[in-house]
């Protein structure tokens, strides 16, 4: 019986926290990102995990390293609030070739459904070369909400998550063809960009 063939993808996941990176408490960001992406994508994924402190130059260097290593997608968690040590957006913008403001706008819209302090979050998304870099919130629950959006009790989508737009964005910048599991997060592409399923002979 033939099986569907999916492009392999390399994804960088970066948790940014002074305390977790020094072992003061257990990091929950990397496991949350890896779990969600594994559930959301059909593609075979190679993860490049990094746990680093809130240092702007170090964050920028890590993002460049992951892009240079061939990561088509880099997701960060942590360091996006207004506190003095929160410098993830600045570090991300510093390595950008293009800014993608729609991602941050949509993340704040989703989070505002839960807390009024969502307007304090400063997540950004950028393109560097053939890679899409997105800053996500710090809490595992908020990570999942912003990626997959909000659904009603029957599972019907109320607010689209940001990941619905990620596969087509990665197409447009020359990355692999990402295929989502609809029950987690249905990716959207214009009809002209949908590729017919490939199967093993």
Is the distance from CB of 133 to CB of 123 less than 8 angstroms?
Answer: no
Between CA 7 and CA 26 the distance in angstroms is: 33
Place of tokens 């109320």: 158
pLDDT at position 134 is: 98
Is the distance from CB of 136 to CB of 161 less than 8 angstroms?
Answer: no
Of all helices (H) and strands (E), which one includes residue 143?
A: helix 140-148
For 71-115, the pLDDT digits (tens) are 999 999 999 999 999 999 999 999 999 999 999 999 999 999 999
pLDDT at position 1 is: 60
Provide the phi-psi class of 155: left if phi over 0, else alpha when psi is between -120 and 50, else beta: left
Is the distance from CB of 30 to CB of 20 less than 8 angstroms?
Answer: no
Q: Which residues pair with 65 in a beta bridge?
A: none
R_g of the chain computed on alpha carbons: 17
Give percent of the chain with pLDDT exceeding 70: 99
Joined together, the tokens standing for residue 35 give 């779990």
pLDDT at position 63 is: 98
In the chain, how long is the greatest CA-to-CA distance?
57
pLDDT at position 199 is: 81
pLDDT at position 2 is: 64
This prediction has a pTM of 0.95
Residues of the chain with pLDDT under 70: 1-2
Alpha-carbon separation of residue 192 from 93, 168, 185, 189, 195 (angstroms): 31, 11, 20, 8, 8
């Amino acid at each position: 019986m033939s099986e569907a063939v999916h492009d392999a993808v390399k994804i960088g996941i970066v948790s940014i926290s002074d305390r977790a990176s020094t072992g003061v408490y257990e990091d929950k960001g990397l496991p949350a990102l890896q779990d969600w992406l594994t559930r959301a994508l059909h593609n075979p994924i190679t993860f490049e995990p990094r746990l680093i402190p809130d240092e702007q130059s170090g964050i920028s260097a890590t993002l460049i390293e992951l892009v240079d290593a061939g990561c088509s997608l880099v997701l960060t968690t942590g360091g996006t609030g207004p506190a003095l040590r929160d410098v993830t957006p600045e570090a991300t913008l510093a390595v950008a070739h293009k800014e993608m403001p729609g991602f941050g706008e949509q993340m704040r819209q989703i989070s505002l459904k839960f807390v009024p302090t969502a307007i304090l979050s400063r997540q950004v998304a950028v393109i560097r070369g053939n890679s899409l870099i997105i800053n996500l919130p710090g809490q595992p629950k908020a990570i999942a909400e912003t990626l997959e959006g909000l659904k009603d009790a029957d599972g019907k989508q109320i607010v689209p998550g940001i990941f619905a737009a990620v596969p087509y964005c990665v197409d447009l910048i020359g990355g692999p063809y990402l295929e989502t599991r609809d029950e987690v997060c249905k990716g959207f592409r214009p009809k002209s960009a949908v590729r017919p399923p490939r199967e093993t002979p």
